[in-house]
Structure 1
Amino acid sequence: MKLDYMGMEFLKIAAFLFAARYVAAALFMGPGLKNWDSSLFEASYRYVGNELTVLAGVCAVLGVAFLIRASGKSAS
C-alpha cells in the first residue's frame, strides 16, 4: 500500500518539475518586456537548462516503477 503512495508522490514531483521549467523560463523573460515572442521564450527556456527535465524524468521513472511494483505485490 505504501508503494502506491510513493509512486503517486514521485509522479506529482515529476509533473511539478516539468512545469517548473516553463515557469522559470517565463520568469527569466521578466514583466518589463514590451514584445514577447516565441524566439525570446525559446532562448530563456534554453537558459534554464535541462536539469529540471532530467530530474522530472527520473522522478517519473521512479513513480512508474513503484506503481508497477505495488501492483505486482497486490496481485500475489
Structure 2
Amino acid sequence: MARITDTPHGRQAVDALKAAVALEGDFPGWLAAILATVAASQPEGSYTLIEGRPGSWEAALVQRLLAGTVGEGDEYLDSYREG
C-alpha cells in the first residue's frame, strides 16, 4: 500500500497539518473550519467529503465533525463559503 506522502497532495497536506499543529492554538477547531470551508466549496456540501467511503468509520467521524461545525443538514455551511 502506498503511503499518503507518496502523492504530491498528500505530502502538501501533511506538511500543512504539521505546521498548523505548531501554530494554531485550537487545532481541532481550525481543522473543523478547514473541512467546513472545503465542504462549502462543493456542490453537495458536506456529503462530498465522505462520498468516497460512506459507511466507513473514517467517514462517520468526518461527518460527525462537520455536523458539529456546520449542522446536521449543512444549515450553517454558507458561513464558511469563500468570497
TM-score scaled by structure 2?
A: 0.29
Greater helix proportion: 1
Larger-Rg structure: 1
TM-score scaled by structure 1?
A: 0.31
